Structure 1
Amino acid sequence: MSVGTSTDITTPAASNRTRAGLTLAVILTAQLMLVLDSTIINVALPVIHQQFGFSAAGLSWVLNAYTLAFGGLLLLGGRLGDVLGYRRTFLLGLAVFVLSSALGGAAQDSAWLIAARATQGIGAALAAPAALSLITRSNPEGTARNRALGLFAAVSSGGASIGLIVGGLLTTSVSWRWSLYINVPIGIAAIILGRRLLPETDRRHEPFDFGGALAAVVGMTSLVAGFVWIPEYGWSTRTIAAIGLGVVAMAAFVIIERRMAHPLFALRLLRSPGRVGALLTFMLVVGGQMGGFFFLVQYLQSAHGYDAFTSGLAFLPLSLGIFVMSRIVPRLIGRFHPLRVALVGLALLLAAHIWLSQVTASDSFLAGVFWPMLFLGIGAAMVFLPMNIRILAGVRPQDAGAASGMLQTAQQAGGAALGLAVLVAASGIGSGSVASVGALMTGMHHAFHTSTIFIGVAVLVTVVTLVGERIAAVRSVRAAELIAAQHSGEVLEEA
């Protein structure tokens, strides 16, 4: 009888664990697919360039159309999740992403492909914040959430390098079109399983901040476009106008958000210095990482003669570093302060970027690329999870979507799009242009010197945040001791 009772009790628990595991697997698979598409087509750009006759500047928009739509609409996507429900928004975003992937794979000209890539970005902007919100809503702060966020951070940071590997394999063995078609069966499976497994969340009847969304999209798009155009057109009228419009639009965005009862961007979330520091560090690190993806692919193909698949496979050390450390970092955070773990990771990233800024065309893969790539993977894993935890800590349930959108905006728009645009501008190489090996090496060195500055600033921000929190903690203890001493004195007087 006791055995039967035990079985009756443990079977539902085991079933719940299985369901929770499958739910997390669906979310992570979808997130991996969304992140993959920021780089999966990188190694196919030379083939696409020849097939559709893109201009040097136009080719860059095959990447930027996706990144800009993704990053520019993340805040709106996060807010829609808060209002419409995370499950519903997640599935809607996946449906848009799958349909646009199929259309992109079937593209017959450059305008068609760029439009499909932008629509992919819209779908990703709806699905990604909802995916992260579903994780945080399903796991209270603590060990379980840290473990889930560790896997999410590993997928988000490692997905870009995996995209290069998968894209290279598909481009070499089948066609570049399968870099987009592959999303269709995976996305459909995620939608079907998601409808069965994902928990339903409440809808809230609140107005949408479309004015703020428009200002954010115009601002981010204009800023990135301006920086992308610097290598092509210099400080021309169009470049200055784009950057100026971006600054004005972002200023208008802040004003709109301060006046809205239900803003797109919850400015109150920035009242925490720790969260602001984590967002800034996160953005700087992602921006630096994107330089590695963009320039190292060109370096491997131009200086070493790698084909699409081999150059993608060369990023395997980075992917392995991320995924191995993603299993270890949650335990490290359990023993040490998250910022201390992040500082070790930042030190590795700094070493990797300095190393890459010195690489030459004659260096072997092992000497010039393997070790810095491994450091990039390990360092990123040690930075991303602590920053994810700090950005999402203490967020009220009704702000989960807004916080998720804010985090991923920092990653996609601030880091991936704007950061890459700054590095391309610093390199002096037109995005998507074909440069000589000598010009490429010079530009790559300039870019990695700039990304080294990014990481150096991130180190400084993290150290200042850690010291500030330590001082605040000491003051808090002293204040408590003083209050206790005063209370003790009052008790003695009364006695």
Structure 2
Amino acid sequence: MTTSQLIQDQKPGAARRQGRPGIALAVIAACQLMVVLDATIVNIALPHIQDALKFSTTDLTWVVSSYTLTFGGLLLLGGRAGDILGRRRVFMTGILLFTFASLLGGLAQEPWQLLAARVLQGVGGAIASPTSLALITTTFPEGPERNRAFGVFAAVSAGGGAIGLLAGGMLTEWLDWRWVLFVNVPIGVLIAVLTPLYINESERHTGRFDIAGAMTSTLGMASLVYGFIRAADEGWRDSLTIGSFVAAVPLLLAFAFIESRAKEPITPLRMFADRNRSGTYVIMLSLAAAMFGMFFYIVLFVQNVLEYSPIEAGLAFLPVTVVIAIGAGLSQRFLPVLGPKPFMLTGSALVVVGLAWQALISADSSYVGGVLGPMLLFGFGMGLNFVTLTITAVSGVAQHEAGAASGLLNAMQQVGGSLGLSILTTVFGSASKDEAEKQVAQFMAEASPEQKAQFAETQQLPAPWGHEVLTQGISMGFVAAAAMGVLALATAWFVIKVRKSDLEALSGTAGPVAG
């Protein structure tokens, strides 16, 4: 060992055990998996959470939204923090905060305690997730090795939602709903222990934190999402619905103004100058919006209509994880040969077909006949897209802005999911209300006096009529989701332009992709 090598190994920021890129990638991927699956792992446990903590139905929505909104809104600031303070240091801070919040959430005895813990989880995830992607650029040399690492990371990001549903079902049925949160504690501790051993610290860059940009973007998106969710229950003329949309406009405009004037913005607007990178952001936003809706509505269908248990509902999503992994593997293998556009077009087209097929769902649909087929098409299309979008959007960014770029990509996924689900909820609510009026009239015409008396007391339709209401809302929700998929497909077709140099870059023989 040379003297210079010895000095390098003794630097405070150097990992004590080098030459183990597989372990380093496993640590980074484990963090991303834990953070991503927490957006869905609580979904199947929601009825149990509602019973245990006495949530109202409206407030229960925020068990999911409080996490995704905080996570998506602060991702950009988390990416910048890694650039300024050192990515490994910030990565560990985010992991420890996320782990602590998970412990608090599992111990919650009141609704506000769980919601506060979910917000804190979102903060921790927003710190750790963009830094974990940026650490790949620090740990792996540019070229095939880094692309393979990006492929693993993207596959984990794509499959995390489905894995969360499966894990949530098993933990809820076999243990208790609290374990959907407690499970993060040992994993987080292990990641925190291994990180300084196998991951090097990145070079620190001087800079400032764009707090104003982070706050206006988070509050603006939260106000927008709340407006859509409120409209689903109270209608578009409700004063709080209107007020939420009105408040969102100046907040988001202020965010754009702040970013255009800030010396060191969390969202450097010059990143949107490249049409390929901008196109990937739009595609990610659209596909994530559709994906969150697909998971949410199929969970409702299999539990409420097919009457699956929590673990059966989780297992119902296992095929999605498999086909996402297959799609991600194929795109990773052939991306250097074919380039990104064919995968974006094919993947987005499959998503549209899958969602349009799911829009045909009815109360008489079975899992195999009405859920599995379209879900497989959807999942395979998402798998083709996630690796492609990740490599195209992040490659070619200046080293000192890698954290901000990765944060923006992740923010598109989380914010797109939150915004998309809120829009689909509005469509679902409107369609369900219209169908409910029809079913109530039909029920009252056919029901016995005893059934009418029970309905007057509970205000709930019996299963056959209630299932019709639910599936009609789900069907229209999938129509809206398919429209989001069409936006992704149109963007891939008209916006993404691939040059010969891009193809060479993907194989590591030229400059960075979409630079």
> TM > 0.5 between the two?
yes
Query: Aligned equivalents of 1:338 and 1:121: distance in 2?
Result: 31
Query: Aligned equivalents of 2:400 and 2:155: distance in 1?
Result: 26
Q: Partner of 1:11 in structure 2?
A: none
Is 1:448 the counterpart of 2:478 in the alignment? Answer: yes
**1:27-426 map, 5 Å:** 27-235=28-236, 236-413=238-415, 415-426=416-427
Cα displacement (A) at 1:17: 8.6
Query: Aligned equivalents of 1:249 and 1:471: distance in 2?
Result: 41
Q: SS of the residue aligned with 2:124?
A: helix
Cα displacement (A) at 1:46: 0.8
Q: Deviations over 1:462-494 (max 9, x none)?
A: 11024x557999xxxxxxxxxxxxxxxxxxxxx
Query: Aligned equivalents of 2:430 and 2:319: distance in 1?
Result: 26
The answer to whether the Cα contact below 8 Å between 2:259 and 2:266 also exists between their aligned partners in 1 is yes
Query: Aligned equivalents of 1:204 and 1:387: distance in 2?
Result: 27
Q: Normalized against structure 2, the TM-score is what? A: 0.85
Query: Aligned equivalents of 1:382 and 1:469: distance in 2?
Result: 17
Amino acid at match of 1:206: G
Amino acid at match of 1:456: V
The answer to whether the Cα contact below 8 Å between 2:362 and 2:468 also exists between their aligned partners in 1 is no
Compared with structure 1, are the counterparts of its residues 349 and 399 closer, same or farther at alpha carbon in structure 2 (3 Å cutoff)? same
Q: Deviations over 1:218-258 (max 9, x none)?
A: 11111111111111111211111112211211110111111
Q: Normalized against structure 1, the TM-score is what? A: 0.89
Amino acid at match of 1:43: I
Residue segments in structure 1 that go unaligned for 5+ positions in a row: 1-14, 474-495
Cα displacement (A) at 1:393: 2.3
Cα displacement (A) at 1:326: 2.3
Query: Aligned equivalents of 1:136 and 1:300: distance in 2?
Result: 41
Q: SS of the residue aligned with 2:44?
A: helix
Q: SS of the residue aligned with 2:204?
A: coil
Query: Aligned equivalents of 1:250 and 1:166: distance in 2?
Result: 36
1:438 to 461, 468, 471: 468
The answer to whether the Cα contact below 8 Å between 2:231 and 2:426 also exists between their aligned partners in 1 is yes
Query: Aligned equivalents of 2:87 and 2:499: distance in 1?
Result: 37
CA RMSD of aligned residues (A): 2.1
Compared with structure 1, are the counterparts of its residues 372 and 16 closer, same or farther at alpha carbon in structure 2 (3 Å cutoff)? farther
The answer to whether the Cα contact below 8 Å between 1:169 and 1:308 also exists between their aligned partners in 2 is yes
Amino acid at match of 1:443: G
Q: Deviations over 1:358-408 (max 9, x none)?
A: 022222211111111211221111011111111112200010001011001
Residue segments in structure 2 that go unaligned for 5+ positions in a row: 1-15, 433-459, 503-515
Is 1:461 the counterpart of 2:461 in the alignment? Answer: no
Aligned residues: 456
Amino acid at match of 1:440: L
Query: Aligned equivalents of 1:430 and 1:450: distance in 2?
Result: 12
The answer to whether the Cα contact below 8 Å between 1:212 and 1:257 also exists between their aligned partners in 2 is yes
Query: Aligned equivalents of 1:231 and 1:218: distance in 2?
Result: 20
Q: Partner of 2:12 in structure 1?
A: none
The answer to whether the Cα contact below 8 Å between 1:137 and 1:400 also exists between their aligned partners in 2 is no
Query: Aligned equivalents of 1:342 and 1:469: distance in 2?
Result: 12
The answer to whether the Cα contact below 8 Å between 2:331 and 2:384 also exists between their aligned partners in 1 is yes
Compared with structure 1, are the counterparts of its residues 71 and 352 closer, same or farther at alpha carbon in structure 2 (3 Å cutoff)? same
Compared with structure 1, are the counterparts of its residues 245 and 459 closer, same or farther at alpha carbon in structure 2 (3 Å cutoff)? same
Cα displacement (A) at 1:328: 2.1
Query: Aligned equivalents of 1:137 and 1:419: distance in 2?
Result: 33
